Amino acid sequence: MAVPKKHHTSARRDKRRSHLAIKPSKPVTCSHCKQPKTAHRVCPNCGYYAGREVLQVEE
Asked if residues 17 and 9 have their Cβ atoms less than 8 Å apart, the reply is no
- 20 part of a folded domain: no
Residue 9, beta-bridge partner list:
none
- 42 part of a folded domain: yes
Asked if residues 37 and 30 have their Cβ atoms less than 8 Å apart, the reply is yes
Quick check: 58 pLDDT over 90?
no
Residue 36, beta-bridge partner list:
29
| pTM of the predicted protein model | 0.60
- 15 part of a folded domain: no
- 5 part of a folded domain: no
> Looking at the 3D structure of the chain, how many domains does it have?
1
Query: Which pLDDT value is given to residue 37?
Result: 95
| Span 7-26, pLDDT tens digits | 999 999 999 999 999 999 99
- 39 part of a folded domain: yes
Task: Give the structural domain span for 35.
Answer: 27-59
Query: Which pLDDT value is given to residue 34?
Result: 94
Q: What average pLDDT does the segment 32-48 reach?
A: 94
